[in-house]
Structure 1
Amino acid sequence: MLSKKYNPSEVENKWQQYWQDNEIYRYDFNSNKETFSIDTPPPTISGSLHIGHIFSYTQAEIIARFQRMQGKNVFYPFGFDDNGLPTERLVEKEEGIRASSMPRSEFIEKCLNTTKKYEEEFKSLWTAMGFSVDWSLQYETINKRVQKISQKAFIDMAKVGKAYIKQSPVLWCTTCQTSIAQAELETVDKDSTFNYIPFLVEDEELIVATTRPELLYGCVCLFINPEDERYKKYIGKTALVPLYDFEIPIYPDEKVSLEKGTGIVMCATFGDTTDLEWYEEHKLPYKKIVETNGKVSDSVPYLGGLKVLSARGKIIELLKDNNLLRKSDNISHRVSVHERCGKPIEIIPSKQWYIDILSEKEKYLKAADSINWYPASMKAKYISWVENLKWDWCISRQRYYGVPFPLWYCNKCGKPIFAKDEELPINPMEYKPHSICSCGCNEFTAETAVFDTWATSSLTPMINSDWKGDSDLSQKLMPMGMRTQAHEIIRTWAFYTIVRSLFHTGELPWKDIMICGFVLAKKGEKISKSKNNGTLSPKDLIDRHSADELRYWSAGARLGTDTMFSEEELKQSKRFITKLWNAASFCIMQLQDFDGERPEELLPIDSWIIEKAKSIEETMEEYLNQYEIGLAKKEIDEFFWSDFCDNYLEIIKDRLYKPEIHGSNERKSAQYALYKSLLEILKLYSIYVPHITEEIYQEYFRAFEKDISIHNLEWGIDIDTEKEKILEFGELIEGIVSEVRKYKSERNLSLKESLSNLKVKIPKEFNGYFNGTLKDLKACTWAGNIELHCDEKFSVEIIK
């Protein structure tokens, strides 16, 4: 018997420990079952987890449980992305330090301590949520095994030129002091001013509007649209740069807008990405203005040594003082910022390592057609990103805590010297090459940059399968069954993983990709660690409510859609948990003398509820194979609340209570149907609410079932009936009950108010089913008599 009230705070911890002790979710490396492998996003160690993580990770975990209950051997690892800039910034913030102000080794040690703390916190939270992860498969992107895989993969690319080094302009974050990739850019609206400045051409003024007057000294030319009748006569001439008095050429280019500003654009190295495009297309000279630290170069007159914003303010004052500022307009315009810190980026020449992606864009576009995208609309986001790529992927970062580049440079000829495979993983700053350079030099300088964190996390399918390691499972696990992730990192994690997998294995990384939505703090703003708007702590929510309540809420949305969250949302979850417990309590109370055997004959309404449960399971499977956990949950919810609780339990209640009137075999038929349908309901719900379903299973069903956990069972229910006929019959019975309830409700009558007669018209083929349900129907409707008339058109006439 179940206790009167369900206590999740006691139950959930108990079963989490039970699952762990009995290795319920451990992947069986020796099993002959079909493997379903899951590539889960390793959460970045950049702060505490929030409700948005609960939302998306739970949706994916539900799929893991579903596949396991389809009889598959589920490979469900979990990792932590614990190296790179996000972790460094977290450590700097928490410790109140700057990485650049202390020895590298000391800072790395602080990073290691911090990541360990957060990983324990994350793991504790996922465990508290009842995640069916195989923790023996855990990995960290900074650990030695993963470093070896990452370094080996890089060397393989570098040896064939897929990874290469070059000196060229690169996207640079002066705040984070590192190069970044195109995928790390975000565009935001920022307030600024259009400053109208006169350039002289043969003593005529050409007014140029610019938002970056601090780059005047770096101006290398002016551009005019060749179709612009106002200015085309100036093309080919030279202009005098105001304040600095040096001449620059005037060139034509169709990219110049005829409407924006004055129609004349100054090109400086580098104000934005368009300046960079012009620089490369027109082979323009480079003039250094902004240094890597965000200050103006000391060589720039008037502004040397100032930060960019200070330099901007100062030059505007200088232009005013020299009568060289015709006007300033306040504007709001789109600015490229670094997604990690939100600060505007600069473009600065630097020597960096890249992975070639531009030469094989068509290959990556074609790959999208061979992957199943869920929802399908997300494929368009991927295609749009690949089609609009402008640069190769810059993978080197001028930071401290990350996977080191396994190489040195020859001090004489500059050639890169790569570590040998047997030396990996290696920190080149702690070792020297064992051989001399081909030029004969034996002196080397270690590369001090580290990999972009995506350069390692893009290898998660290979990390999961221990690619080229002692227990390489690549042939068994790849392509993996499913990748789960948020839609914002399609351009990074999804794309980069496809690039790496195609190169290193020749295979796609996974068959299916499941794209989850965001939780919004307010309309249009996602909850994120960086925005610090996740005020509801998941741990506090679990303590105040329960993991199952949070899981039930997380499963409610359609895949890929964003949703708002407030604590009020959990009231519906609590109501469901209470209903499930009470319904199960009632059923188990009626099953105390049930022997588990099937009676010789099932009454029609009992066959119906079992067949209906089977039908719901089949529909849910269809949805869940499309990763639509919300639509699948809607199916079981409607069945449980309406068909099972509101109708079936009420219809059979009198038969359960009064075997002396209905017959003992008839009561056993109801008990058998209760057992089968309730167990199936628990199995279907167990992927959503694993704790309460385990508790109910263990309290009663474990005595009859062979498996030590409900989560070891497979979905499915056996019954031999005329499926379509029995389902249609059940709908007719529900229709009769509904009409009677409606009649009594409209007249403010008690549901137990007696009725003298019901005249029911149903199709002739249901006559036998109906007669077998007559006693139940009389008891449920409180009708003294029920007249049955055969008619193709269903109707109910009620006589008080």
Structure 2
Amino acid sequence: MEPKIAEKAWNPELEKEILKQWVNEKIYEFTPKNDNFTIDTPPPYPSGRPWHIGAAAHYSQIDMIARTARMAGKNVYFPIGIDRNGLPVEIYTEKKHNIRMRETERGEFLKLCRTALDDLEAEMILIMKSLGISGDFTNYYRTDSEEYRTLTQSTFIDLWKKGQVYLANRPNNYDWVSGTTIADAEITYEDLPTKLVYMKFQIKDTDKEIIIASTRPELLCACKTIIVNPEDERYTNYVGKKVIVPITNVEVELRTHHSARQEFGSGAVMVCSYGDQNDVALFRELELKEIVAIGLDGKMTEAAGEYVGLKPKQARTKIIEDLEKNGFVEKIEDIIHRTPVSERSKNPIEIIPMEEYYLKQKEAIEKMKKLGQEITFYPAMHKQILMNWLESINIDWPISRRRYYGTEIPIWYCKSCSEPHVPEPGKYYKPWLEKCPINNCSKCKGTEFVGEERTFDTWMDSSVSPLFVSKYNKDQEFFNKVYPTSIRPQAKDIVRTWLYYTLLRCEQLTGKKPWSEAWVMGYGLDEKGMKMSKSKGNAIDPLPVIEQFGADTFRFWSASEINHGYDFRCNEQKIESTKKFLSKLWNVSRFLSSFPVIESGIPTETDKWILAELDNLIKECKKGYDEYNFFIPAIAIREFTWNIFAAHYIEMVKARAYGIGFSDEERDGAIYTLHKTLSTILKLLAPITPFITEHLWKTLYSSESIHKQKQVTSESIENNNKITKEITEFNSKVWNEKKAQNLSLKDSIKITIPESLEYFKKDLKSMHNLDDS
């Protein structure tokens, strides 16, 4: 019999044709019903070369979530978006056009930003489509669109009216290179080399000195007090006395405070405005008057005296020289210091008092903890990232930024009395460019206004993604059907930003949590175990890999390599090696395509055995799919297909399927079981490798897409794992014995079949050409 599948190998080029079929057939088209499965898909950020291979693996698995849900009978809404706001866009634009944002006319710079990422966005969309991602590309959104920014501004206006927003002058994290405030959640820490300087502070009217170790001697001019631990007996006699700050000769008081650690350095700490967040807390608690030592230009202010105009690092070098020259240094150590840096720009941050807008979050922490507990996390361990972050929040969220490419804060100020005014929601406003839509000041009746020039933190945009895709304030009927959304899939590094801010904002606006499930993936690492990123230069471009090996090979690697929630290493050789499984699946399917599909058959004991093993596979896959952990079904399907079904069952029933030495009833039982097993494997595998399963399914079983089928369910067949072990061990014994006797697999051999395998005797004799007389 000639096989129905003529090609001897799976050709990844077929994926392009299958993609066209899916588009033409509109098999993923979404029509809202009363019960929907909505995915709050992360909008990827096209900054620099778009995506590395780890991100592509991440989005492949998000698609597996969608495909799993569809085959579970759910009505899946899978929106796609692109995140284009904020600092990365601006930095990319500056590099591309060799310009500086603040030296370019704002309108012109915004125009360049809008077009700078178009090519990168197009490539990103191409990658997503090539991967077989089954989202809504026809209506994909951009976070810099007028429609999206209108929603961001409208939600801000809503919260403003609810009293959730206020203006305050407070110490803020400041990225002086990009010239903007950043929130605590946007800070990461890097271990950087620096000097720990042990400085001599004279206790006034004594010949005693206190040694204070600091990595920030350039902030001596901002020192307002010295603290020691109240239990530190070394300083008991000096508490309350004046201490003379070296270089500046300013006198400050020696106080006690529990935050001073006796074991660090000399146990004495200088409190400056502002070396770190501990300084910020101490200045508030002790009601100290701040000195602004570093300005918005990132340089030392006049408060630094002769060091004015120097950058902090330059001032540090100069002041260390002066301290040494004047005998104020006991010793200097070269150390590695955990330094706060901007997550976006990678610049070390400074803490500078600035007037910014804040969104209230401190008062919502307990509510956020409660909502967090109500959300099911996959894996459960990553819920702790959210809970740890909630425990660490001690200030409200600074939401204003001093940048250009972002959603503008919709506020105008009365020119006469400075009273702020917000317009009515529903329109996209540009206060820096447009006339105020309000005619008279509500306070002084003035008629002239000045527009706000600042923009929002980009998380103000991203945090309303579930509202945007649900058509909040736009289509109430649609919104009621798809919101709250079902699941938030994302990476673990943005739990404290995107996940948390979305939870906060959506609850503030709707009174509901935005989703009931959160799926959190680990990092893509390079071969050395380093986090993969474009800035480090260790990122692998996914498009050439997909073009070379095919999307299904890449996707199966993603599923079989990544135990969900854990970091994973990316290796092209491993990706290539997964082709072997797809080749095995193809060869099995090609062989079975020689036999007609039989709707029913009377299975023998051999057939019942493999059907019991198949049922066990169904149960195992369901467990993995229910937890959105695709590692479980990928490994189980590969193991079953390769090492049980192909290696043992097919070989056992091959002669029977051809009808050689068996009755028609026995033959049909084998053919029925072969096709039932293969069709089940294809369905189980479809969410992971959608292309090859689609092609084989349509070639062998149906004209309707496999992705429109319901997933198979367990028939609760009792499974005897002992029998499987005995069958595989017996087969291996025969093969090894033939090899030892230099016999071919077709040659006859005299081996007795064990009594426990009596039910399988006829198939085993045929399989091995046994002489058991």
TM-score (norm 1): 0.91
Corresponding residue number in structure 2 for 1:642: 643
Q: What residue identity is the alignment partner of 2:73?
A: G
Contact 1:171 1:346 in 2 (8 A): yes
1:686 aligns with 2:686: yes
Query: Is the counterpart of residue 761 in structure 1 residue 764 in structure 2?
Result: no
Q: Partners of 2:205 and 2:331 in 1: how far apart?
A: 22
Q: Equivalent residue of 1:666, what SS?
A: helix
Identify the match of residue 735 of structure 2 among 722, 741, 744: 741
Give the C-alpha shift of residue 156 in structure 1: 1.4
Deviation by residue 1:454-511 (Cα, 9 ceiling, x = unmatched): 1111111111101111355332222322111111111111111111121111111111
> Is the Cα contact below 8 Å between 2:619 and 2:714 reproduced in 1?
no
Structure 2: distance between partners of 1:58 and 1:173: 35
1:320 shift after superposition: 2.9
Whole-Å separation in 2 of the counterparts to 1:545 and 1:607: 37
The yes-or-no answer on 1:270 pairing with 2:274 is yes
Q: Name the CA distance, whole Å, in 2 between partners of 1:604 and 1:613.
A: 14
Question: Which residue pairs with 2:17 in the alignment?
Answer: 14
Alignment of 1:557-596 (within 5 A): 557-591=562-596, 594=597, 596=598
Equivalent position SS for 1:525:
coil
Instruction: Give 2:581's aligned amino acid.
Output: F
String of CA shifts for 1:84-107, please: whole Å, max 9, x gaps: 112111222222221111001111
CA contact (8 A) 2:194 2:334 kept: yes
2:10–2:582 CA contact under 8 A, matched in 1:
no
CA gap 1:350/1:196 in 2 versus in 1, 3 angstroms: same
SS in 1 for 2:526: strand
Q: Is the 8 A contact 1:465 1:472 kept in 2?
A: no
What residue number does 1:778 align with? 765
**Structure 1, residues 195-249: CA drift from partner, whole Å, max 9, x if none?**
2333332243333222111111111111122222222222212222222222222
Give distance in 2, aligned partners of 1:628 and 1:25: 22
Residues 725 and 341 (structure 1 numbering): CA distance in 2 closer, same or farther, change over 3 Å?
A: closer
Q: CA deviation at 1:67?
A: 1.1
Give the equivalent residue in structure 2 for 1:379: 383
Take 1:666 and 1:324, find their aligned partners in 2: how far apart are those partners?
97
Q: 2 CA distance for matches of 1:146 and 1:621?
A: 38
Residue 503, structure 1, aligned to residue 508, structure 2: yes
Q: Distance in 1 between matches of 2:8 and 2:684?
A: 22
Looking at structure 2, the residues matched to 435 and 624 of structure 1 have their Cα atoms a distance apart, in angstroms, of 58
State which drifts further: 741-750 or 275-284: 741-750
* RMSD (Å), alpha carbons: 2.2
User: Is the partner of 2:227 in helix, strand or coil?
Assistant: strand
SS in 2 for 1:350: strand
Cα separation, 2, equivalents of 1:756 and 1:197: 90
Mapping 1:16-35, distance limit 5 Å: 16-29=19-32, 31=33, 34-35=35-36
d(CA) in 2 for partners of 1:778, 1:417: 89
Secondary structure of the residue aligned to 1:230 is helix
Contact 2:753 2:761 in 1 (8 A): no
Secondary structure of the equivalent of 2:661? helix
Instruction: Answer whether contact 1:56 1:516 (CA < 8 A) is retained.
Output: yes
CA displacement 1:12-55 (0-9 Å, x = unmatched):
111111111211112122x56x4211112111222221011012
Structure 1 counterpart of 2:340: 336
The CA distance in 2 between the partners of 1:2 and 1:124, in whole Å, is 30
Q: Secondary structure at the match of 1:110?
A: helix
Q: For residues 414-462 of structure 1, give each alpha carbon's deviation from its aligned partner in whole angstroms, at most 9, with x where no partner exists.
A: 3220011243455453231323112212222211111111111111111
CA distance 1:317–1:597, change in 2 (3 Å): closer
Match of 2:135 among 133, 136, 143: 133
Taking the aligned partners of 1:472 and 1:111, their CA distance within structure 2 comes to 35
Equivalent position SS for 1:41 = coil
Q: How far has the Cα of 1:180 moved from its partner?
A: 0.4
Q: Is 1:526 matched with 2:531?
A: yes
1:667 match: 667
Q: Spell out the pairing of 1:144-293 with structure 2 (5 A cutoff).
A: 144-200=146-202, 201-204=204-207, 205-293=209-297
* Contact in 2 for aligned 1:91/1:114 (Cα 8 Å): yes
After superposition, the C-alpha distances for 1:531-551 in whole angstroms (9 at most, x for unaligned) are 2320x2111111221111111
Identity %: 34
Partners of 2:95 and 2:143 in 1: CA distance: 21
Q: Contact 1:479–1:510 at 8 Å: present in 2 too?
A: yes
Aligned-pair distance for 1:523? Answer: 4.3
With 660-669 and 548-557 compared, the bigger mean Cα shift is at: 660-669
Structure 1 portions without partners, runs of 5+: 787-800
Shift of 1:109: 0.8
Q: Counterparts of 1:432 and 1:759 in 2: how far apart (Å)?
A: 92
- Tell me the distance in 2 between the aligned counterparts of 1:597 and 1:239: 93
- Judge conservation of contact 1:35–1:75 (CA < 8 Å) in 2: yes
User: How many angstroms does 1:641 deviate by?
Assistant: 0.8
Aligned-pair CA distance for 1:761: 2.0
Counterpart of 2:29 in structure 1: which amino acid? Answer: R
1:451 is aligned, of 450, 456, 460, to: 456
Larger mean Cα displacement after TM superposition, 121-130 or 674-683: 674-683
Higher mean displacement: 167-176 or 6-15: 6-15
Query: Secondary structure of 1:291's partner?
Result: coil
User: Which residue matches 2:499?
Assistant: 494
Equivalent-residue separation in structure 1 for 2:267 and 2:600 (angstroms): 86
Q: Say if 1:607 and 1:726, in contact at 8 Å, map to a contact too.
A: no
2:525 partner SS: strand
For structure 2, the 5+ residue unaligned runs are none
**Counterparts in 2 of 1:40-189, with a 5 A limit?**
40-47=41-48, 48-189=50-191
Secondary structure of the residue that 1:435 maps to in structure 2?
A: coil
Please state whether the residue corresponding to 1:421 is helix, strand or coil. coil
User: Judging changes above 3 Å, is the alpha-carbon distance between structure 1 residues 506 and 323 closer, same or farther for their aligned structure 2 residues?
Assistant: same
CA distance in 1, matches of 2:565, 2:71: 24
1:717, 1:380 → 2: CA distance?
Answer: 34
Offset of 1:717 from its aligned partner? 6.7
Answering whether residue 711 of structure 2 is matched by residue 710 of structure 1, we say no
Counterpart secondary structure, 2:79: coil
Deviations 1:272-318 (A, max 9, x none): 11111111111100111101111111453111111111111122222
CA shift, 1:636, in A, is 1.2
Is 2:469 aligned against 1:477?
Answer: no
* 1:752 is the counterpart of 2:755: no
**Is the Cα contact below 8 Å between 1:676 and 1:717 reproduced in 2?**
no
Say whether residues 1:38 and 2:32 are aligned partners.
no
Q: Distance in 2 between matches of 1:425 and 1:5?
A: 61
Q: How much has 1:700 moved relative to structure 2?
A: 2.8
Change (3 A) 1:730 1:275: closer
Q: 1:746 to 1:488 in 2, by over 3 A?
A: farther
Deviation at 1:675? 2.1
